[in-house]
Amino acid sequence: MELTSEEVRHIASLARLGLTDEEVETLQAQLGDILGHVNQLNELDTGNIPPTAMVIAVQDVVAEDEPRPSFPVDVMLANAPERKGNYFRTKAVLGYET
Amino acid sequence: MRPDTASLPDASIAELRALLDRREVSSVEATRAYLDHIGAVDGAVRAYLQVTEDVALQQAAEADARLAAGETGPVLGVPMALKDLISTEGIETTCGSRILRGYRPPYDATTYARLRKGGAVLLGKLNMDEFAMGSSNENSAFGITANPWDLSTVPGGSSGGSAAAVAAREAAFTLGSDTGGSVRQPAALCGVVGVKPTYGRVSRFGLIAFASSLDQIGPFTRTVEDSALVLSLIAGHDPLDSTSVPLAVPDYASALGGDLRGLRVGVPDEYFVEGIEPGVEGAVRAAIEQLESLGAQAVRVSLPSTGYALATYYIIAPSEASSNLARYDGVKYGYRSPEGEDLIETYLRTRDEGFGPEVKRRIMIGTYALSSGYYDAYYLKAQKVRTLIKAEFDRVFEQCDVIAAPTSPSVAFKLGSRTADPLSMYLSDVLTIPPSMAGIPAINVPCGFSDGLPVGLQLICKAFDEATMLRVAHAYERSTEWHLRRPPLLISVAGS
């Protein structure tokens, strides 16, 4: 099953991947092959089978609501590509600089 | 007698332990011997992304002080290395990706913290397929790793650097991670022992996430006893990982030994099908006969959904990855594209430039499978098939105590031979994925050679029954000499 280039571009925009035209073309064929393979699951009747999200029986793990020290701001910002004061600095969200 | 330090990297953890405890060698001497050996062979193998020489010598000196104070412990003073997705505070951790180049984690992974508490010495960080996605290490953003048995072949993946380093004696042990076979398959291709513990057995705090319902950390070693020693140290509940289970951890090494009388070994028909190389099938069948000669009874079993596990995996793992990898946005850490007029454009460019082709492919598959209108057809369907796969294992473990099968359908393949066709690469993991889907433990043990390259036996057990798995693997290993063979690379280095 082949995806259209529009479908590939739509998925890429959902995933926030700015693919080049060449990448879109390659992925069109490759995703088609992979989805063709995974579609063999349709051979199996799973009508009455519950889904498994978690293979071990651990449920509802909660932590005690106790305050404990957090990382210092400088440590958390140390890997940031850009910072301003105690904040991560990014490009403008709404298309203009403040 | 004082041992020749140049031969120290050949020692198992247990052998090195004895030398350290008798004070015949210091941790600094052992660490230097490993660093020298890495210098001699890693130009050819390229297992390491980073050798942390200063850190290693400092930690070795600390270990020597603890030894001098009368302390001991399985890994005290023992040099090891980590796959580059296990967080090490202040030490670059890239996950094999351009998007994390230069990233220095603010904390240690729990596994590394436990090894450090035990006095292990960090030699460096090991190459891997980017974000643990791959079966050959060729998806690393930082170059390929070669298989020490034949430098023109792949070491397997995604923990290829971790496997190659142990095979080439570049660390006494290493840690890797296994999502669909990423410990066992490279262990098979490099002829070393590799363990995928039960999901929940080992804390994943500080492990950079790929597919959260599957990822587990496990050791690579040259002997089964060594894997038992390391697993006992890294296993156990961690309040920082809510999926780690609050079960007591057995002393796996002390449970080794004894014979296999009364043990039932399940041999699943579906693991010996078309696509398995004859040399692999022959070696694995011979290994099963060897288990019988040790007193075990082989039982023919069936796991009919085996052929569907790969398809199930290639929905579930990419779906979880597409969600986990949403965090790489060029804002908080890692690479940020200098292009981009606004924030969205920055995201688009950063992720396109920062991720390699396989990672983008998986994000795309996962995003597609989770997207509106397709969720039921793909992700939900795959989770239902997962239930079938798990139920089949549960049933088979009523008929046997351990399952024996090949780990990889082939021996190490040529570099570049599968990179053009993603599906052919995915098939490398066809025999390791089913236990991953069921969350159960499995181990690779060297069981022979085909065309001069190692073949691996996979032993699979019930959830949290690592003790049985290790006991069987150990009994097999003791009755064979495969694990004592050395890659030709080492012989040429020693002779030079």
pLDDT of residue B269: 96
Task: Tell me whether residue A21 is in a domain.
Answer: yes
Residue A25 maps to a domain:
yes
Q: Of B198, B367, B382, which has the smallest distance from its Cβ to A11's Cβ?
A: B367
Determine the average pLDDT of the residues in B228-244: 96
Residue at A90 is within a domain:
no
Closest chain A C-alpha to B244 CA, distance in angstroms: 9
Closest listed residue to residue B444, CA positions, set B243, B156, B209: B156
Could you give the count of Cα atoms lying within 13 Å of B144 in the half-sphere of its Cβ?
Answer: 17
Tens of pLDDT along B433-464? 999 999 999 999 999 999 999 999 999 999 99
Flag if B388 and A61 touch (Cβ within 8 Å).
no
| Mean pLDDT in residue range B101-123 | 98
**Nearest by Cα to B200 from A61, A89, A55:** A55
pLDDT higher than 90, residue B38: yes
Tokens of A98: 């403040």
Taking residues B137-147, report their average pLDDT: 98
Mean pLDDT of B140-156: 98
DSSP A87: E
* Bond before B158 cis per omega within 30 degrees: yes
Residue A39 resides in a domain: yes
- The radius of gyration of chain A's CA atoms, rounded to the nearest angstrom, is 23
pLDDT for the residue numbered B496 = 39
Residue B494 has pLDDT above 70, yes or no: no
User: Tell me: the pLDDT tens digits for B254-282?
Assistant: 989 988 999 999 999 999 988 899 999 99
- Give pLDDT, residue B1: 47
Report yes or no on A52 lying in a domain.
Answer: no
Distance from CA of A96 to the nearest CA of B (A): 8
What part of B 180-219 touches A (C-beta under 8 Å)? 198-200, 213
Tell me the percentage of chain B whose pLDDT exceeds 90: 93
What is the rounded average pLDDT of the residues B155-178?
98
The band of B176, judged by pLDDT with boundaries at 50, 70 and 90, is: very high
Asked if residues B281 and B406 have their Cβ atoms less than 8 Å apart, the reply is yes
Contact call for residues B321 and B96 (beta carbons, < 8 A): no
Q: Nearest CA to B182 among B49, B87, B332, B313? A: B313
Contacts of A37 in chain B (CB under 8 A): 310-311, 314, 423
ipTM of the complex, rounded to two decimals: 0.94
Q: Is residue A64 part of a domain?
A: no
Number of domains in chain A: 1
| CB-nearest partner of B104 from A8, A58, A79 | A79
Summarize pLDDT for B124-135 with one digit per residue, the tens: 999 999 999 999
pLDDT at B491 exceeding the cut of 80: no
Q: Full-prediction pTM beyond 0.95?
A: yes
Confidence of residue B2 (pLDDT cuts 50, 70, 90): low
In a domain, A16, yes or no: yes
Q: Which residue of A has its CA nearest to B387?
A: A52
Q: Tell me how crowded residue B1 is: count the other CB atoms within 10 A of its CB.
A: 4
Contact between A44 and B351 using a beta-carbon 8 Å cutoff: no
- Neighboring chain B residues of A86 at a CB cutoff of 8 Å: none
The range of the structural domain enclosing residue A35 comes to: 5-43
With b for 16 or more beta-carbon neighbours within 10 A and e for fewer, the B121-142 pattern comes to bbbbbbbbbbbbbbbbbbbbbb
pLDDT at residue B274, as a whole number? 82
CATH of the domain at A34: 1.10.20.60
- Return the percentage of chain B with pLDDT > 70, whole number: 98
State yes or no: pLDDT of B386 exceeds 60. Answer: yes
At B495, the pLDDT band (50, 70, 90 cuts) reads very low
Query: Hey, are the CB atoms on A37 and B423 less than 8 Å from each other?
Result: yes
B101-108 LR contacts (CB < 8 Å, sep 24+): B101/B141, B101/B334, B101/B335, B102/A79, B102/B334, B102/B335, B103/A79, B103/B333, B103/B334, B104/A78, B104/A79, B105/B206, B106/A71, B106/A75, B106/A76, B106/A78, B106/A79, B107/A71, B107/B206, B108/B206
Helix (H, G, I), strand (E, B) or coil at B356: coil
Structure tokens at B274: 């078309």
Give Cα B463 to chain centroid, integer Å: 18
Mean pLDDT computed over A91-97: 72
H helix or E strand, kind and range, residue B174: strand B173-178
A 17-46 residues with CB below 8 A of B? 17-20, 23, 26-27, 30-31, 33-35, 37-44, 46
Closest residue by Cα to residue B336 from B80, B159, B328: B328
Tens digit of each residue's pLDDT (9 = 90 or more) over A27-78: 999 999 999 999 999 999 999 999 998 888 777 888 889 999 999 999 999 9
Whether the per-residue pLDDT at A16 is higher than 50: the answer is: yes
Q: Which of A30-34, B221-225, B341-345 has the highest mean pLDDT?
A: B221-225
Question: How confident is the model over B68-86, as pLDDT tens digits?
Answer: 999 999 999 999 999 999 9
> How many CB atoms neighbour CB B101 within 10 A?
14
Contact B135, B158 (CB under 8 A): yes
Which of B364, B424, B465 is best to mutate for the A interface (most A CBs within 10 A)?
Answer: B364
pLDDT at B479 over 90: yes
Please indicate whether residue B337 is annotated as part of the active site: no
Q: What is the mean pLDDT of chain B?
A: 96
pLDDT of residue A55: 87
Residue A66 lies in a domain: no
Domains (range + CATH), chain B: 8-304+391-495 (3.90.1300.10)
Q: Is B332 a catalytic residue?
A: no
pLDDT > 90? residue B352: yes
Q: How far apart are CA B456 and CA B123, in angstroms?
A: 27
Write out chain B residues lying below 8 Å of A20, CB-based: 352
